[in-house]
Structure 1
């Protein structure tokens, strides 16, 4: 039967005791608080698990078995501080961020350019992701910060900060708007182009239609707002979108306001404690949204 592995916490305590030259000295120098009786009891348990005596108490002296164990464990426990500092240093300049393609393309470059002035060694991992994928990446802690639609409260354990609220609009060929076609006329006579059912934008639009007493099923479902614009421009139908500040509509496309419909909220999302770099980027995004 193989020898059971020693308790790693007990092994760490032994390392500190061996390095300091005794239990009392170790208690004074250890990086976290622990009482002397607790250290003594856990070292005794380690010796019992290993079936050997690791050191003499008075005067303190490692036994041959204790010397061998210390020489084995010292490189690992002694090097933890250096490794932690190196990892923390890398983390302080590396940001993993997920957002829809429109945000990454239209808004992030200027924001990150400003952040890079304060952090010249900025390293980035940018993920083009929809709302469902973003929440999955946050749950698996694959990203430090995400920019996504916020329909209700964020999932448990996820923090959020509202960046901007944008009104829903219908995009139509310019000729349809010039003809004075309103929402009811469009719903009665034109195909609807919109994102998939499970997106916040489509759910908000469905709520607005329900309040207005209008039934308008989609004829064309697309994965991006760019595709909505492209198919509207070619006359395939009226497309659901949002009025994004600073983004011009394609030639031949006009927007019809959806008064009284819920608005789309865009928020920064993260889990745990927001790191300094992610906090700086979030602050820059808030400023851009404010402007």
Structure 2
């Protein structure tokens, strides 16, 4: 299956238009139509209805596979490039909003390599993991809530190495005046009927909360797609919804009640593929191996 055809198909499906996909990809509309037709011939099924543009059942199923396939190909290309390219003069570290980053260790490595430019970019979990896989980032610190024995749920990006660099307790964050603010512990399932902030990049999203308790509920309230931890805590303090967060980030206006059932931890993992010498030095420092 030709990845160029898959990329064109994905663009048409995402944009809902052959002409818009042609503009984005730099092709003519006729070329886009021909590529989609060639893919349909290859898989032996119609993938798109033309007027209006809409996915068929077969197209919807193929689209589910297309993202991971293209991501794995990009990751493979980036991994080979890291091994065969010239030594870089820059290292880019990605970090999710609540990742535990020790700035002292970063500064030590920077001072030891004054000719290498180090950059930290804050982004979402999927953005950081895929950025490492595709070479936009040299390594990443990704945080999340999980069971103590489970790894973080990351996109399927291929051969990435992960190392746990920090773990801490998890709390339900709520306003200081909330009736539960004085509790010593809570079962997460008991809060299934509460309203939760829908902040997938800065807190634990409702869908993952449901997975933790293997049940329903956890209605998403105000949606916050951003990555600013201060803004998230301000929303919690104002009563916009509850949030499952690491205890270490709370402010005086926000109280935290420990989650006792199920047992959960907030973990930061270092994620990387093949490493250049400067990136390897930073990875060793961040993981405590230097």
Fold shared by both chains (TM-score > 0.5): yes
CA drift of 1:178 comes to 4.3
**Secondary structure of 2:142's partner?**
strand
Preserved contact between residue 196 and residue 206 of structure 2 (Cα < 8 Å): no
Residues 168 and 109 (structure 1), Cα distance of their counterparts in 2 relative to 1, 3 Å cut: same
Tell me what 2:116 maps to: 122
Residues 198 and 120 (structure 1), Cα distance of their counterparts in 2 relative to 1, 3 Å cut: closer
Preserved contact between residue 163 and residue 285 of structure 1 (Cα < 8 Å): yes
CA distance in structure 2 between the partners assigned to 1:219 and 1:97 by the alignment: 32
Residues 200 and 173 (structure 1), Cα distance of their counterparts in 2 relative to 1, 3 Å cut: closer
**Secondary structure of 1:228's partner?**
helix
Tell me what 2:139 maps to: 145
1:132-180, CA deviations, whole angstroms, 9 ceiling, x for partnerless residues? 2123322321221111145247632222222123343210112223464
From 93, 99, 102, the counterpart of 1:97:
93
Tell me what 2:241 maps to: 237
Instruction: Report whether the alignment pairs 1:112 with 2:106.
Output: yes
Higher helix proportion (structure 1 or 2): 1
Instruction: Report whether the alignment pairs 1:228 with 2:232.
Output: yes
Aligned residues: 191
CA distance in structure 2 between the partners assigned to 1:205 and 1:166 by the alignment: 18
1:245-287, CA deviations, whole angstroms, 9 ceiling, x for partnerless residues? xx4x222211111122443432111122x22222222222223
Q: Is there any run of 5+ residues in structure 1 with no aligned partner, and where?
A: 1-85
Rg larger in structure: 1
1:171-191, CA deviations, whole angstroms, 9 ceiling, x for partnerless residues? 011222346494566544x42
CA distance in structure 2 between the partners assigned to 1:114 and 1:253 by the alignment: 34
**Secondary structure of 1:219's partner?**
strand
Preserved contact between residue 181 and residue 257 of structure 2 (Cα < 8 Å): no
CA distance in structure 2 between the partners assigned to 1:184 and 1:261 by the alignment: 12
Tell me what 1:173 maps to: 175
Q: What's the TM-score, normalizing by structure 1?
A: 0.55
Q: What's the TM-score, normalizing by structure 2?
A: 0.55
Tell me what 2:273 maps to: 271
1:64-99, CA deviations, whole angstroms, 9 ceiling, x for partnerless residues? xxxxxxxxxxxxxxxxxxxxxx943xx2x5212111
Preserved contact between residue 204 and residue 261 of structure 1 (Cα < 8 Å): no
